[in-house]
Structure 1
């Protein structure tokens, strides 16, 4: 199996500073390409941060095509695939005559071509559900890329094993997860028990998902100054070994690692998860309504 050089980039996303944030992200992508990386992954909301109630936020969401094109140009110039975290897009629903905000992640290949996109499905219970439109019951798509079959999830999607299963059943071997996950996403009760609870959640769940789906996971989280509630822990995680590389603090940084996909194949030979999922008599099925469960 192939070995790919990949980079996960942990950025401090300054609120509303879209051009400044893009320039910093581009400098990290350039550094990754200079080290031979074939893929660079950025965090969720890295262009604008998540401040939907600020009056300056929505106009920035109208610039999504401009910055998507900038990343396409950068990918083509450097010959590197890029997943530019997520970009919040404002679209007009002509039928309902109202605006919709979508949180979108793209896979751009080394020629600057868009190979696929994903709209965040599982929205956080706080302000995301108030402002964003979910992809709802749309199928999780898998993309054919220079690194093989890839699926994209975003942040809180990590908490739902069903999302991974849907991608794995379509043949995904690499799952990419841009995120804006902070320590403050925990409740006061949880923080009182463990101030680093969310970092524990991330480390535990990323390793578990890699094992239970025999896949590689590229997790790029937002970072920031110490003591400001950023979780960090961006990492590349595999079954058997857990994190191959991990940013141990919340500070900005980048991991560039050799992703040996033979580890994924060895794990599948052992656990045979995909083999079970492909059986015609597989005994688990998911239902979405009380009526269907009866």
Structure 2
């Protein structure tokens, strides 16, 4: 039982990092544009398909895997720039109902386009051989698991450091907190929002490419992480990168232990945590950063 719990704890850590990779772009686009992107999962799926198209099913080297992830991030980032110019910018200041309808329409359009371009076949993508090896740390785990943990931590550190210490990050925060005053003092608000939207879409494309290995690649791939990503954004505090990171870890651990201790009720603990946080801290774990 002890080994099983240790295995669940490690898997929970990996799942938490994977969920944060998906949630990072979602929380960034909400923090800057105040848009809850319902189509987030579909862009995650397209990023995975692009990576598969670039590197194939069995990439031989880590640099191939990372290169495909960068290509997916760039392509999805460019698509995000177009979506922002055509759709999201027009939703500024309107009721959230219209935003949800518009992003749901984007979801349907994206999935339809993916079906036409990539087809409906199922694929399996394997990590590079060096990451597919098993190491024993008391429990057998793969290097790919450590790779996902490292990617999640790197993305978190870069976002936190960039938003709080770089001049561009401070400009973005100024626009997020008071776009009217930012415009008054001469900041190019629309340009900053456009770049931020592109970055948030690029993050979800990167996540799709990094997480494509060892799971079935299909049109429904985005659904596998989307609910946990939305939950982590809500629990952490809407727009808070630090809150999303902590919430993703909590949800990953609870979800993993749930599968061990309550196998007959999968996923129920994550929603219990969500309900408790909403009741006790409606603004999330980091409301001052939201």
Question: Does the TM-score normalized on the shorter chain lie above 0.5?
Answer: no
Name the TM tier (shorter chain): under 0.3
More relative contact order in 1 or in 2 (CA 8 Å, sep 6+)? Answer: 2
TM-score (normalizing by structure 2): 0.27
TM-score (normalizing by structure 1): 0.26
